[in-house]
Amino acid sequence: MVKVEFEMNPGLFLEKTLSRFKNNRTLQIISVTILLLLISKPVHSMYVDFSTPANAHERENKYVVFENDRGYITWISETLEVFSDQETISLTMDESDFPIEADGLNIIDASVSFYVSDYSDDNEETSGLGCMYNDGEDAYDSISAFAEHPSTIPQNTVSEYGDSLYLDLFEYPEFETYPFITGYTVDEIEEMYDSSEDVKGEYSFNFTGFVEAGESTFECERSDSSVTFVYEITLSYREYSVVEWNDTESLF
């Protein structure tokens, strides 16, 4: 009867079928369940294929990281400055100001070094008839240095002869199974040792001079007008490679 009815009036057959489906809760649930079963596996497969990288199998392997190269390049070459008392200079730069030699290198820290060039031969002046008998003693001048970058803790020092400040830009990753690394792909490990994001941001370097004249004596007056120092800023780099470990080779 159904076949004849469909052939005689297909529109009426479709209308009755839809009406039965709308009014039959059980039929609706069964239909939705079948539909979900049909599409769930393809969707799940598509999600797994999309979210799992092609090299995911590498996470089951063991790897070691070797340092291939290290060194430093000069960012600001040796520069001489003469300061009066409490005179200050400030340098503000960012990674775009790195020297061209830094292109493609894995920069891990920036350092500023300075020394007071007139530490042992101060330019203090003396005046008075008795200076040759009792001219007193020099008082050492000093330099205050400050360095700052968003990736690390600000550094500062005050010295009469010289010092160095280090901005440790790169934080080495830690692994529970070190020196072996597992649970990561090669790309993921290489990204952990990539400092390109750590070096971004503003670098600030400040220097202030403190001029001290020795104590005058009754016979001799002492004065000091300046302090002379030299500073230099350098960048250090490290290059790494990730090697699969096969348990048959020695690390050393």
Domains and CATH numbers, the chain: 2-52 (no CATH), 61-244 (2.60.120.380)
The per-residue pLDDT for range 88-146, each reduced to its tens digit, is 999 999 999 999 999 999 999 999 999 998 766 666 666 766 676 666 667 788 999 99
pLDDT at 53: 62
d(CA 95, CA 181): 31
- pLDDT-derived band at 22 (thresholds 50, 70, 90) equals low
Q: What is the DSSP string of 82-97?
A: EE-TT-EEEEEEEGGG
Find, among 29, 179, 18, 205, the residue nearest to 111 by Cα: 205
For residue 181, the 8-state DSSP code is B
d(CA 73, CA 237): 8
CB atoms within 10 A of CB 248: 5
pLDDT for the residue 212: 84
Backbone φ and ψ of 94, nearest 5°:
-140, -175
| Residue 13, pLDDT above cutoff 60 | no
**Bridge partners of 240?**
67
Q: HSE on the CB side for 162, CA within 13 Å?
A: 14
| Six token digits for residue 190 | 């290489």
Write the CA distances from 180 to 137, 177, 238, 252, integer angstroms. 60, 5, 19, 13
Whether residue 214 has pLDDT greater than 60: yes
Q: At what angle do helices 25-51 and 10-23 cross, to 10 degrees?
A: 80
Task: Output phi, psi for 47, to 5 deg.
Answer: -65, -45
State how far the Cα of 13 lies from the Cα of 17, in Å rounded to an integer.
Answer: 6
| pTM, full prediction | 0.72
